[in-house]
Each structure stands twice: as C-alpha cells, then as structure tokens.
Structure 1
Amino acid sequence: MTKCIFDLDGTLTREESLPRIAEHFGIGSEMETLTREAVLGKIPFWASFQKRVHLLKTLPVREVADVLYDIPLYEGLIGFIARYSGSCAVATSNLSCWVERLAERIPCEVYASAPKLEEGRLLGIETLLDKAAIVRDWQREGHRVIFIGDGSNDASAMELADIAVAAGITHRPAEAVLDVADYHFQDVDNMVETLEHIMSETTDRSETTNPE
C-alpha cells in the first residue's frame, strides 16, 4: 500500500502558523525572522524552534489553539486526504497542544511534537517529532511512502521516503528539500493530480497482483 505523509506548516496551511500566532499577540517581527531562517535551513531547526517556543510559551495555550484553528488550509489537499484518509497522515514539528484544534479540520491522523505542560501552562518542548521515524515505521510494515514537505526539517524524512514531493505552494522550499525531491510543485491542482495518479497506480497494481 502507498502511504502519504504531509508536513503541516506551509504545505497544508497557506501560511506558517507560528508567525500567525505571534502577529495575533503583537510579537511578530522576531518570530517571522526566526521562522524564515529555519524554513530555509539558515539556522538549525531545533535551535530556531526552541527560540520560537520560548517567545510564545507565556501565551494562553487554549487561545493559541483557537488562533490556529482558523488558519487557512489548501482545500484541494484536504480533499485528497479525505479521499485517502486511511493512507494519509500529517507530521508536524509544531506542538500538539497548539495544533489540536486545527487537527480537527484534517481528516487523518496528525503526529506532532510533545509539549511540556504544567497546570495548562507551557513550559517548553518535551519531545520534538522525528518525522523520519514515521517514514521508517511505515516502510518496515511494507508500505511505499510519499512525503510531502517544504522546510529544512522535512529533508531527512523526504530522503528516506520512496517518493519525495517538494511543496512550493506557500513559499520556495528549502534547498535541502529541493536536493532530495522527486517532484516540485508550485500549484496545488498539479500536486493533487500527481498524487491521485500515484495512488491509482498503486490500486491498479494491487488489483492485478491480487485479483478477487
């Protein structure tokens, strides 16, 4: 079976989520710079993410989740996920406590980084999601894995994936992503059409190999 793993920010969302949070709370300038440099791989993602979480950790967790619930999504990709929900997942480095409401709008399993919380207050990051580990786990189960992403923190997972798709629909993907990508799309419709073709090829092959 073919499985699809989607990055969230800038891949399924029409904008990066952390700058949106910062803008809502009036602390946008430094956040925008840190996010842009992390996406492009100019500074290590882990260091950037720690700094960005530190900037936001005093904010009310529930209010942050409410802000992200309204972030615009690429409906064409959400429609694709709905059609193949059992074969799709989202892998985001963002914190589960922040994206839990947004995840309600995405019809598949969502993997996220684990926050360190105390009485509903964010203290920091407990565990950063290892996207490559999800790819490896699915491949061990015998699946062919497609990974769709745009940021430098997607590159290691994309390099392991059987098919790597660079999503250039929100901004230019990181060079590390482009280096390992089998496809690079700047248009959602073209991306969906290609993913549909790959999924239908898999179905046709399965039906031919294992006729009823």
Structure 2
Amino acid sequence: MTTAYCFDLDGTLTRQELLPLIASSVGLEDEISVLTEATISGVLPFDKSFKLRVRLLRDAKLDWIHAALSEQVEFDRHILDFIASRPEQCFVVTGNLDIWVKPVLDRLGIQSFTSTARLDDGRLDGIAHILHKGDAVSSLRDRFERIIAVGDGMNDVPMFEAADWRIAFGGTHSPNRLLVKLSDFVINDGNALCRLLNML
C-alpha cells in the first residue's frame, strides 16, 4: 500500500513557529505572537489571522526574512531522518507564504504545498492564494492509497479531515484541543512519532 505523509511545517517539522521568527527581523514579535497564538488555539480563523499577519509583515525585506529563518530554524533530527528515508512520500503542507519559507523548504528537500504571494516589482503586495490544507491532501489521492497527516494547530483540522490517519504532534507546544479530538494518536516526541509512522 502506497502511503503519503503530510506534515505541517511550523511547530511540527520545525521546533519554532516561523512567523514570530520572521517578525523578529522587523521588530514586530509581540504583535505577531499574539495573532499566532490566537490562531493556534482556534480563537481567530487562520485566513483572517494570516491576512493580518501578512499585512503587518508586508514591508519586511525578503533577505532579512530568509537570513532570520536560515539562522534560527531548527528541525527534529528523528523526523528529518524519517523524511530522508522516503522523500517521494513526504510532503510539507503549510499555510505560510511560499516566498517567506523557501529557505526552510529548500533545506527539507521535499515537495510542498504553500500559500502563494502576490508580488509587485519584486515586493510583497499581498496574498495571491491561501492554501486550504484539505485540498492539498485530497490532491494526493490519485497517487497514494493512504494518507497520514501530522500537525499541531487549528489550521490543520482540514488536513486531518481529509486524511486516513491523523497524528496530533506536540513536539513544540501542546496540540490544539479540537485537533486532539480528531486524532487517532497524540504524540509529543519526534522519536516516538517516527516509530509510530514506521509501524502504520
């Protein structure tokens, strides 16, 4: 049976939420952190929160963002090893903007689904498309017989609803309560997560 493994990016594959790191490059950590926490907990819908966060960060220079992410982003070694053992079956599914997270995705070296930026003269002008994670998972159905989703936040709910197996992962912070209810498994350690993925 062919299986696809769909991973959220922020706080799942990475040990940090990325937008607060991006915000630190322009001195907007507090504002972005409040919006990020409200989104993770489900208080603020992802689409609305993301539009607000993009508006706040629109003037941040792309090279500053890439430098901040390249220097500060850390991955769980066990999850990286798992991905490296089956790169054709692993996918990043993130609502983050493609142009912002490119250096992180390049380091992972696997296929990804992202939101896409609208550019004007090479500068961020807004959002061209906000990714619906359920659509990303569904698009893999013609290639894979089974889909396993791993995530931690409220915006992962559509991905979980479209997947066959659902794992709420608390490697960085406790997973969202609704996500936990939808989950088949709840795991808080990268090594344990990979052992489970190898057994499923």
Which one-letter code corresponds to 1:109 in the other structure? Q
Matches of 1:134 and 1:32, distance apart in 2: 26
* Deviation by residue 1:134-164 (Cα, 9 ceiling, x = unmatched): 2212224452000101111111110220000
CA distance in structure 1 between the partners assigned to 2:49 and 2:181 by the alignment: 22
SS in 2 for 1:11: helix
Give the counterpart letter for 1:153 in structure 2: N
**5 Å matches for 1:1-212?**
1-70=2-71, 71-198=73-200
Moved over 3 A (4+): none
Long gaps (5+) in structure 2: none
CA distance in 1, matches of 2:178, 2:197: 22
Taking the aligned partners of 1:156 and 1:98, their CA distance within structure 2 comes to 23
Amino acid paired to 2:101: V
Computing the radius of gyration over CA atoms, which structure comes out larger, 1 or 2?
A: 1
Q: Distance in 2 between matches of 1:62 and 1:91?
A: 23
Change (3 A) 1:142 1:23: closer
Q: Which amino acid aligns with 1:107?
A: G
TM value normalised by structure 1: 0.90
State the AA in 2 paired with 1:110: S
The CA deviation string for residues 4-51 of structure 1, in whole angstroms up to 9 with x for no partner, is 000000101101000111123211111111000101101111111111
What letter is aligned with 1:132? G
Q: CA–CA distance in 2 between the matches of 1:122 and 1:39?
A: 24
Mark the runs of 5 or more structure 1 residues left unpaired by the alignment: 199-212
Deviations 1:82-131 (A, max 9, x none): 10101111011000001111111103112211001111111111101121
The Cα shift of 1:176 comes to 2.0
Letter in 1 for 2:140: W
**Conserved in 2, the CA contact under 8 Å of 1:62 and 1:98?**
no
Structure 1 vs Structure 2 CA RMSD: 1.1
The whole-number CA distance in structure 1 between the counterparts of 2:76 and 2:144 is 29
Q: How many residues align?
A: 198
Q: Distance in 2 between matches of 1:89 and 1:142?
A: 12
